[in-house]
Amino acid sequence: MRRVRALPLAIKIPLLVAVLMVAVGVVASERVLSRLQAVQERQLSDLTDAYLDGLSSSLLDPVLRGDPWEVFDILDRARGLYAAVRPLETIVLDDGGAVLAATDPRRFPIGSSAPDQPGDVRADTAHVDEDEARAYARRTLAVEGREIGSILVAIDAAPILAERREVFYTLLASNAAVTLVAAALGWITVRRMVRPIRMLGTHLTQTLDGPVNPIPAVMIPDPATEVGRLFRSYNALAEAIGERDALLARAAEEERLASLGRLASGMAHEINNPLGGLFNALDTLKVHGDKAAIRRNSVDLLERGLKGIRDVVRTTLATYRPDREVRPLRQADIGDLRILVRPETARKRLALDLCGEVDGDLPVDAFQLRQVLLNVLLNACRAAPEGGKVRMTVAADGARFIATIEDSGPGLPAGAEQVLTGGLQPTADRGGLGLLITARMVADLGGTLLADQSPLGGARITVTVPLAAGKPLPEIRHVA
């Protein structure tokens, strides 16, 4: 039943039409056949009556005299006279029920007892036995109200049964043809009717895997029709969704640029901090460069400072390089995050705790994941109070990579969780928009983003990303 319900309309409706046609055909055929049967049996009865009438009038005398030869002679001649009745065998019985004579004396010899006839053979009515293809009838011979004998006749009913069969098969064939044609017409009509719905269905299905495409204008029928209105409504919806996506993309780009701005200023600060020390070391070299110990110390200082500047520049390049390549995630990427958020942690004197390690290369897009973790970490730093705590824990098993970012801030604003799960539209509040964009990036990686309460007091965001198990990324092979 469930399978029938699951059938498309284009099949279901022609099927219904066919079932109805079959039902109508069965009822109509039954009526025709039973009417035919009644007519045939009346004709057979009339013929049999005529035959029995003719026989009884000439048989009365010889039956009264008990003359088997004359009875036989009359039956024998009647066979030729009543060929149209097709009597197969006729038996004349005397008043004691014994055979006086029969058309086939060998089967029914003189003096033998009457053969069995179907129990429901009534006088003067032909009874058709379909199995034997015979009709039976009986006529009582009476003189002056006294029964002197009877005539039993078996008539060949094969022709009328053959005719009945022929009519039956003709009805069957014509009904089958009509039903088939009706079902085919139904199928074609319904297919035409449901085509727009199917097109709408196809478009809706495509939106699950990609952008929402409106239905081309040439394919939209007259807006006065139901389908026309439906298509227009769908297109309006598709445009609204498209605009929202475009808006989100623009917002994501702005968010990226904004965080770049923050990072740039942070980086400038990162570079600026050691610069004073470096210039001091240069001055020291200029003045006391001739003293070996002082020179060595100053050069060491210079080297450390320049290395720090190099690390900052390199990490920033790795994060924002526009022509980035797909490569696997390494522990170094996690370490880079500390450098990237250092301006924030330094500014707010936050304690950043990085726990856990990943071993070797993880087959996941490192750039995308770094961006995700950076965004969440920056959010946490922003949420944590001055001198607060931020903790990131990373772990990987064979199938997935899990990162948990917690802070001691006030927790996520109301509605942020629903923004994450798609239940609420993001507002102008940056946190909301940032979270939403992060959530989309995680979704691009095939992962999930969960938000709940941290034991540190603030929010806890758990990022889970599946690893392409047994399917190393191209970059890994290249590096290897």
Partner 1 sequence: MDRHHRPTRRGVLLGMAAAASVARPAIAQSDTLRFGLTPVFLSSDLELLDRLQTYLETATGHLVELVTRRTYQEITALLVSGELDAAWICGFPFVAFQDRLSLVAVPVWRGRPLYQSYLIDAAGRGARSITDLAGDVHAFSDPDSNSGFLVTAAELAARDQRPETFFGRTLFTYSHRNVVRAVASGLAASGSVDGYVYEVLREVSPELVAPTEIVRASEWKPFPPIACPRGYETSAKTEALRGALMRMPDNGNGKAVLDLLRLDGFAIEPPGFFAPIEAAMESVRRLG
Between the alpha carbon of residue 397 and those of residues 1, 141, 332, 469, the distances in Å are 45, 108, 18, 10
> Do residues 350 and 392 make contact, with C-beta atoms less than 8 angstroms apart?
no
Residues 246-275 that bind partner 1 (CB under 8 A): none
CB of 75 to partner 1, least distance (A): 10
Residues 108-147 that bind partner 1 (CB under 8 A): 109-111
Q: How far apart are the first and last CA of the chain?
A: 57
Cα separation, 287 vs 182, whole angstroms: 108
**φ and ψ at residue 146, rounded to 5 degrees:** -105, 135
The nearer residue to partner 1, 73 or 417, going by C-beta atoms, is 73
Cα separation, 58 vs 64, whole angstroms: 11
The nearer residue to partner 1, 109 or 422, going by C-beta atoms, is 109
The nearer residue to partner 1, 76 or 166, going by C-beta atoms, is 76
Residues 56-95 that bind partner 1 (CB under 8 A): 67-69, 72-73, 76
The nearer residue to partner 1, 111 or 261, going by C-beta atoms, is 111
The nearer residue to partner 1, 41 or 67, going by C-beta atoms, is 67
Nearest to 156 by CA among 87, 206, 78, 255: 87
Structure tokens at 236: 């309006």
CB of 158 to partner 1, least distance (A): 24
Residue 406: its H or E element: strand 400-407
Nearest to 14 by CA among 154, 224, 191: 191
CB of 145 to partner 1, least distance (A): 28
Cα separation, 183 vs 403, whole angstroms: 60
The nearer residue to partner 1, 110 or 450, going by C-beta atoms, is 110
Count of residues that interact with partner 1, criterion CB under 8 A: 13
Beta carbons within 8 Å of 229's beta carbon, 6+ residues apart: 223
* Residue 106 engages partner 1 in binding (rule: CB under 8 A): yes
Q: Quick one: which segment of 84-92, 107-115, 132-140, 168-176 binds partner 1 (CB under 8 A)?
A: 107-115
Question: Counting runs of H as helices and runs of E as strands, what totals does the chain give?
Answer: 11, 10
CB of 66 to partner 1, least distance (A): 10
The nearer residue to partner 1, 76 or 325, going by C-beta atoms, is 76
Q: What is the DSSP string of 334-362?
A: HHHHHHHHHHHHHHHT-EEEEE----S-B
The nearer residue to partner 1, 40 or 103, going by C-beta atoms, is 103
Q: Quick one: which segment of 101-109, 143-151, 314-322, 437-445 binds partner 1 (CB under 8 A)?
A: 101-109
The nearer residue to partner 1, 98 or 257, going by C-beta atoms, is 98
The nearer residue to partner 1, 17 or 100, going by C-beta atoms, is 100
CB of 60 to partner 1, least distance (A): 17
Q: Which of 101, 153, 267, 467 binds partner 1 (CB under 8 A)?
A: 101
Cα separation, 409 vs 387, whole angstroms: 11
Cα separation, 467 vs 398, whole angstroms: 7
Residues 17-36 that bind partner 1 (CB under 8 A): none
CB of 107 to partner 1, least distance (A): 9
Structure tokens at 402: 């899990």
Cα separation, 407 vs 64, whole angstroms: 128
Residue matched to tokens 């799960």: 421
CB of 159 to partner 1, least distance (A): 26
CB of 80 to partner 1, least distance (A): 14
CB of 76 to partner 1, least distance (A): 7
Cα separation, 76 vs 240, whole angstroms: 99
Q: Quick one: which segment of 99-107, 335-343, 435-443, 445-453 binds partner 1 (CB under 8 A)?
A: 99-107
CB of 105 to partner 1, least distance (A): 4
Site residues (vs partner 1, CB under 8 A): 67-69, 72-73, 76, 101, 104-106, 109-111
